[in-house]
Amino acid sequence: MRFSGWRVIREGLTGNRGWGPHWRDPEPKPAYDALIIGGGGHGLATAYYLAKKHGLTNIAVLEKGHIGSGNIGRNTTIVRANYFLPGNSAFYSHSLKLWEGLEAELNYNVMHSQRGIINLFHSDGQRDAAVRRGNAMINQGDDAVLLDRAQLRAMLPYLDYDNARFPIYGGLYHARGGTARHDAVAWGYARGADRLGVDLLQNCEITGITIKDGAVKGVETTRGPIRAPKVGMVVAGRSSQVAALAGIRLPIESHVLQAFVTEGLKPCIDHVITFGMGHFYISQSDKGGLVFGGDLDFYASYASRGNLPAAEHVMEAGMALMPMIGRAKLLRSWGGIMDMSPDGSPIIDRTAVEGLFLNCGWCYGGFKAVPASGDCFAHLMATGEPKAEAAAFRLDRFRDGVGILDEEGSGSQHNLH
Ligand SMILES: Cc1cc2nc3c(=O)[nH]c(=O)nc-3n(C[C@H](O)[C@H](O)[C@H](O)COP(=O)(O)OP(=O)(O)OC[C@H]3O[C@@H](n4cnc5c(N)ncnc54)[C@H](O)[C@@H]3O)c2cc1C
């Protein structure tokens, strides 16, 4: 079932009776060539690229709930390539390029909208840091423009410039950044993987990982045991729990991050705006809701719902930046479980168990990473060697301290990243 303008018109004229399910609902086979644990964005993208680029089609994605029920369907949809450190910047640059061709690649409308991201700064020191970051982005081949206060005011007239708690000095504008519809990304990759022969096994929780003579042999699941010589763990906020099934202790803490959406409003916010001083960021969805969030809830948890102190903090920051938001009615809020790594950067690596691979540590920034993470993890699982763009995301950097990728300079405290 391919999508096209003609197909939409034809189906519209014939009662939409020709559409089929996006993917099959197969029974688990007793054995596969490779298994991916976790049907989030990263797991589905990995399966897609394993099949598409490496010809591994006798593979399955094992998801304990339904496709899209994790963070891939809970995030605030920001896509950007504005990282500073070598190691991160090449990877996110690669990801943004994949985003730019994703809809054609998947034949699926993921509503990728390059509406631009503006990071505000509020002091001379922050301006210097923004200039440095912008230069790093340009050197990487991406885009960055420094906006002064007058230019910013012309673009974002609704911010509080005259009476603000943190006076606005300007912003770093990343025009190719923007948003995409989060669950459409999961559905697009799921459909693409299914079309290449990948089995998507929903309601299939991993309860054990079978290891013999130092090599992985398969997994135990709620739908029975499945054998495979290669297994990839891609379970985001559940990474420590699933790795523990293989006897591996990860340097990952799970923390809650909340997000909020208002009732639908007429278009008023054209960009994504981040207000680091107040821990607040905002964009407007295509349905009109103002989508915004802030910082973590600041304690480790496996509950995918948040608490009121963090909600109050986010609302206060929103009011401090753009008092007009006080007129909007909040419609919903929700939370997701973040796999926080000590340096705020991810892990894409082998483990000490032969055939067992690890992809985690995405913190609150893993949505934009989905295409590159899938591409690089598939490369690692297929060839046994890291792809150049992800070579810095080693697990052992937390043991030897070499190559720590601390973008924020926050040190090794998980909840500060
Ligand atoms: C509120 C919020 C806002 C965010 N905003 C952004 C943003 O604007 N931009 C950005 O880049 N990132 C953002 N993120 C982060 C991003 O959503 C995550 O980093 C990313 O989605 C994590 O990867 P994933 O999609 O594979 O995770 P998930 O979708 O969580 O996938 C993991 C899957 O593993 C499954 N699983 C767990 N245990 C098992 C098991 N034992 N057996 C089988 N399956 C299992 C889970 O059910 C889940 O479906 C945000 C996150 C949240 C919560």
Confirm or reject: Cβ of 278 under 6 Å from ligand 1: no
Query: What is the position in ligand 1's atom list of the atom closest to the CA of 259?
Result: 1
* Type of residue at 194: D
- Name the residue ranges covered by the structural domains of the chain: 23-76+182-251+344-416, 114-179+253-340
DSSP 265-319: --S---SEEEEGGGTEEEEE-TTSEEEEEEEEEEEE---SS--HHHHHHHHHHHH
Residue 212 CA to ligand 1 centre (angstroms): 30
* Ligand 1 midpoint to CA 236 (Å): 5
pLDDT score at 194: 98
Q: Is residue 199 a contact partner of residue 28, using CB atoms and an 8 Å limit?
A: yes
Alpha helices by DSSP H, listed for 82-158, are: 89-100, 102-106, 124-139, 149-155
Tell me if 351 sits within 8 A of 246, measured CB to CB.
Answer: yes
Residue 292 Cα to ligand 1 midpoint, Å, equals 17
CATH class of 114-179+253-340: alpha beta
Q: Is 255 in the pocket of ligand 1 (CB under 6 A)?
A: no
DSSP string of 336-379, one letter each residue: EEEEE-TTS--EEEE-SSBTEEEEE--TT--STTHHHHHHHHHH
> Count of CB atoms within 10 A of residue 48's CB?
27
By the 8 A CB rule, do 126 and 281 touch?
no
Pocket test for ligand 1, best of 42, 44, 67, 75 (most atoms within 8 A of CB): 75
Ligand 1 nearest atom to the CA of residue 367, by list position = 11
Instruction: Check pocket membership of 130 for ligand 1, CB cut-off 6 A.
Output: no
Residue nearest (by alpha carbon) to ligand 1 atom 15: 364
Q: What is the pLDDT along the chain (417 residues), one digit of tens a residue?
A: 789 999 999 999 999 999 999 999 999 999 999 999 999 999 999 999 999 999 999 999 999 999 999 999 999 999 999 999 999 999 999 999 999 999 999 999 999 999 999 999 999 999 999 999 999 999 999 999 999 999 999 999 999 998 888 999 999 999 999 999 999 999 999 999 999 999 999 999 999 999 999 999 999 999 999 999 999 999 999 999 999 999 999 999 999 999 999 999 999 999 999 999 999 999 999 999 999 999 999 889 998 888 999 999 999 999 999 999 999 999 999 999 999 999 999 999 999 999 999 999 999 999 999 999 999 999 999 999 999 999 999 999 999 999 999 998 899 889 888
Quote the ligand 1 centre to 358 CA distance (angstroms).
15
Report pTM. Answer: 0.97
* Predicted local distance difference test score (pLDDT) of residue 1: 73
Q: Is the CB of 232 under 6 A from ligand 1?
A: no
Take residue 319 and report the two structure tokens written for it.
Answer: 């009011």
Q: What is the CATH number of domain 23-76+182-251+344-416?
A: 3.50.50.60
pLDDT (0 to 100) of residue 2: 87
